[in-house]
Chain A
Amino acid sequence: MSSNAEWQEGNSKGEPGSSLHGVTGREPVFQMTMATVGEQEATDLKGRKFALPVDSEHKAKTVRLYSVAAPHMRTFHLSWIAFMICFFSTFAAPPLMPVIRDNLGLTKGDIGNAGIASVAGAVVSRLLMGTICDLVGPRYGCAILMMITAPAIFCMPLVSTPVGFILVRFFIGFCLATFVSCQFWMSSMFNSKIVGIANGTAAGWGNMGGGIVQLVMPLVFDIIRRDIGSEKFTAWRIAFFVPGVLQVMMGLLVLTLGQDLPDGNYAELKREGEKVNDSFKKVFLYAVTNYRTYIFALTYGYCFGVELTVDNIIAEYFYDRFDLNLQTAGIIASTFGLMNLFSRPLGGVLSDVVAARWGMRGRLWNLWIIQTVGGVLCIVLGLTGQLGPAIAVMLIFSFFVQAACGATFGIIPFISRRSLGIISGATGAGGNIGAVTTQGIFFMSSKYTTEDGIMLMGIMIVACTLPVIFVHFPQWGSMFLPASKATEEDYYVSEWNKEEQSNGLHHASMKFAENAKSERGRQSPPRSKGQAVGVDQL
């Protein structure tokens, strides 16, 4: 069935937003369309056997973390490490801020502006990266971005004014778009049934870079100061060569070891695209007119955006409020980011576990509860004046905030099937915009102390999570309202107008609607017109 193959090949060239189809990767797949290729037959174009079991598109059906077999697992490790190093470079300045602020004579406003600049660039670059991946492939996209932003990192040792500092952080921040190439690459390599877990794990482990850097940079600074004997104001500059060199090395590794698709690179393959090109205007229109897009962009801004903000301020906060030395403040601050090792994937898993019992209503409650508890803990963190409890509260807070990120992407795939890519991209951009806004309001001027800023940020998290209450799916209900008589088909097919439906463009959405019936939860009887069409009857 060619339309099946089209739908599964969702991220081939051409379809607008297709590059982000794998971002959430929770699109359920029909059992029978994932034709299993026997391991004897699974070879790439050069006739080499694949190390992992693959499907008919040669995408891997399982993830083996301990393997680096080409192409699938090698891709997994290359892309999450590349993303992690980009996070490392973007947040390399905050742990050294006590030294940098004295060297450059920065005021609180300068530091706040630099923090905003570091996450603002990625708003645009993330949106562009999807198109770049569509055109030249994720391997080139990732490597080119990393190696072009590396000179910005090497410019940091040359900075001597506040304006220079802000500009350099702005340009370094562009490399956060490797998130998109990472997710795109995974969805080219891993089958839809497991790409969600692969993507969630890679995203979580990549975000860990924001934690690792808080450990590493003060250590490197200390080694340079003690063992090489540099002055403080020189040592931090030398320390910046570490993220720069790492990024260049990783870019080269991606270029040499990476591979766009299981069968080879874009340039080497003859692309057989019998794709139906969707109209960008329509896809954009349906994304923009769906109110849920805006609600989730806002709420993601107050989980991922808060995570980015805290990455920027937390080391300095512990250094100043609790009189710690740089290394100790760095170690404590790093635990925030390191929780990503399991908290983001767990958030997604929790969403799935809750949905199995209560469906989409469960997912919405799950997200609301996790993010609101995160907000409350943020308020508590701002009010905690003792070091020990502050660390404990921060750890629990980090778990909830990062789990909320994972939980958000458990809901996104169900908002729209046609405009999934753009909605995912908008959500991601909303995360960065949330970071920009939060830092601008609470951490820029001396109007609020940092602890007051953290407390007010917590209040804002709780307030900005309330809109989840208003997300209503006619076929599943919302947090407080039950489902109406509408069905999943009504909802997803309504994205296509009569003319498009008569051309049969909506078939993929119909299949998606059938699979999405899982979001009803465990006990609801089928409500579709006539008999429920079982999976095995199609």
Chain B
Amino acid sequence: MEAALSSEGASVSAGAAGSCSAAAGLDCAPPLPPPRVQPNSSKSSGQIISAAASAVTRRQSTVGPRGNSFDADTTLCTTIVVFSTCSPSSYASSSVIPNELRHSRAHLLLKNGMGGGKFTVMACGVLQCVVRSLAVAALVLASTSFAEAGVLFSTLDESINVAVEIQGQNVTEGPVNRVAKVGDDRLVVSWNLNSSLMGLGVDKNYVSLKLRLCFAPISQLERGWRKTNDDLHRDKTCTIVIANQKYTTDGNSTVWRIPKNVPGATYFVRAYATDERGQQLAYGQSTDQLKTSNLITIIPISGRHVTIDIASGVFSVFSIASLIAFLASEFAQTSNR
């Protein structure tokens, strides 16, 4: 349904866009057709709009993890459809320009310069079209419902114990963070249910366990895109996925090789216990409440390569050298004359 709508909308808009850009161009269009009454075109575009609107509201919108562009796809599709309300006849609508302006100096100036006062007519037609389609777009897209609020972190119990080690390094206590390198080092994350809560049925709804690498407060400073928010749908603290495991009462552990796209920062590990729908029920983390102890600093890759450095140098030299060569040859040419 979505695909059919968007392909139809796209082909209509391609036609409309083609005439749009031709209309906005200069000295290129043949004389405009006389203004047409547009009940037919507006009725069909109205049908498209209402169909799109109902499709949009029917769709369940969720704020998914990064990479889920559900709402954006819907939005773009609807926008394409909406822009198809621009019919070529709107440009021909001569009611836009009042009669006294037709003979105005500005109009004549443009007409003489541009090979047609049609530029002003077209410009006003484009303006009209733009304003109309944007108004419709705003109406349709306003009906896009947005995500429901998520679970609040402050309502979760801390019923999981999480411990993290860097494989191959001794466990150290102390003020200095442990250091791990991406690509080389592995984190051994082990978790289990808090022993004081065993057998009390606290974990009867826990289906899976999500392990996440989370930014420590020091790495969130001055970086609003990593901000902590009590609403877990908007929380950006724990965006890096370590593993998703099935929940077992005995606990489990995993060995995670730190991937190369992890940014350099200070982290701790958090585990969320979730039910079958993915709603968080409880959590555990490898640090204290203030998130200041037991942190891990991860050293990233720089992203630079020797080949890139060399290519960069070669291109720069080429740019300057070819400029100098060109100027020199032109100077030689003119001084030889």
The chain A residues found within 8 Å of chain B, CB to CB, are: 28, 61-66, 98, 101-103, 105, 107-109, 140, 143-144, 147-148, 150-151, 154-155, 157-158, 160, 191, 193-194, 197, 201, 231-234, 236-238, 241, 244-245, 248, 251-252, 255, 267-268, 316, 320, 322-325, 327-328, 331-332, 341-342, 345-346, 349-350, 352-353, 355-357, 385-389, 391-393, 395-396, 399, 445-446, 449-450, 518, 522
Contact = CB atoms under 8 A, between A and B. Distances in A.
Contacts of A233: 260-261, 300-303
Nearest to A331: B76
A148 B24 CA distance: 35
Interface string B129-144: 0110010011011111
A147 B323 contact: yes
A98 B66 CA distance: 12
A385 B71 CA distance: 13
13 contacts: A140-B327, A151-B315, A155-B316, A231-B303, A232-B260, A232-B303, A251-B319, A320-B225, A322-B71, A342-B126, A399-B134, A449-B224, A518-B106
Given A197-B26, A349-B119, A147 B319 contact: yes
Interface stretch (B109-117, B169-177, B199-207): B109-117
Contacts, number: 231
B101 interface: yes
Contact of B304 (A158, A327, A345): A158
A391 B79 contact: yes
Given A157-B304, A352-B106, A251 B260 contact: no
Contacts of B112: 193
A155 to B, nearest CB: 7
Contacts of A237: 303-304, 308
A80 to B, nearest CB: 13
Contacts of B323: 143-144, 147-148, 251, 255
A392 B83 CA distance: 12
Contact of B123 (A238, A325, A332, A349): A349
A391 B75 contact: yes
B24 A357 contact: no
B322 A231 contact: no
Given A233-B261, A346-B123, A64 B28 contact: yes
A248 B323 CA distance: 9
A94 to B, nearest CB: 14
B264 A323 contact: no
B210 interface: no
Interface of B: 21, 24-28, 63-64, 66-69, 71-73, 75-76, 78-79, 100-101, 104-107, 109-110, 112-115, 119-120, 123-124, 126-127, 130-131, 134, 137-138, 140-144, 146, 221-225, 260-261, 263-265, 300-305, 308-309, 311-313, 315-316, 318-320, 322-323, 326-327, 330, 334
Given A231-B301, A518-B105, 18 more contacts: A65-B26, A147-B322, A148-B319, A150-B319, A151-B316, A151-B319, A160-B302, A191-B113, A197-B110, A197-B114, A236-B303, A255-B326, A327-B69, A356-B101, A387-B71, A387-B72, A387-B146, A389-B142
Nearest to B133: A395
Contact of A154 (B64, B73, B130, B315): B315
B308 A356 contact: no
Nearest to A110: B222
B113 A194 contact: yes
Nearest to B112: A193
Contacts of A241: 311, 315
A113 B230 CA distance: 30
A158 B311 CA distance: 10
Contact of A193 (B113, B130, B319): B113
Contacts of B303: 103, 160, 231-234, 236-237
A235 to B, nearest CB: 8
Given A102-B263, A357-B100, A391-B79, A446 B224 contact: yes
Contact of A352 (B110, B126, B327): B110
A107 B112 CA distance: 55
Given A147-B319, A324-B72, A392-B137, A399 B130 contact: yes
Contacts of A268: 334
A450 B227 CA distance: 13
A341 B146 contact: no
Given A160-B304, A328-B69, A357-B100, A248 B27 contact: no
A66 B316 CA distance: 34
A392 B134 contact: yes
Nearest to A339: B130
A241 B90 CA distance: 43
A236 B126 CA distance: 37
Contacts of B141: 386-389, 391-392
